[in-house]
Amino acid sequence: MKDLHARTIKAGVRGFVVLAILVFIPAGTLRFWQGWAFLATFTICSTALTVYMALYDEKLLERRLRAGPRAEAEASQKIIMALVMFGFTAFLVFPVLDHRFGWSPVPPYVSIIGDGMIALGFLFIFFVLRENSYAASTIQIADDQKVISTGPYALVRHPMYAGALLLLAGMPFALDSWYGLFGILVVVPALIWRLLDEERFLTKNLSGYAEYTSHVRWRLIPGLF
Which residues form the domain of 134?
A: 3-215
pLDDT tens per residue across span 26-52: 999 999 999 999 999 999 999 999 999
Residue 80 lies in a domain: yes
Which CATH number characterizes residue 52's domain? 1.20.120.1630
Residue 224 lies in a domain: no
Residue 146 lies in a domain: yes
- DSSP code at position 107: -
Q: Work out how many domains the chain is built from and give that number.
A: 1
Residue 221 lies in a domain: no
Residue 220 lies in a domain: no
Pick from 169, 51, 182: which is nearest to 118 by CA?
A: 169
CA geometry: angle 111, 115, 116, nearest 5 deg = 115
Residue 57 lies in a domain: yes
- In whole angstroms, what is the distance from residue 184 CA to residue 87 CA? 9
pLDDT tens per residue across span 161-192: 999 999 999 999 999 999 999 988 888 888 88
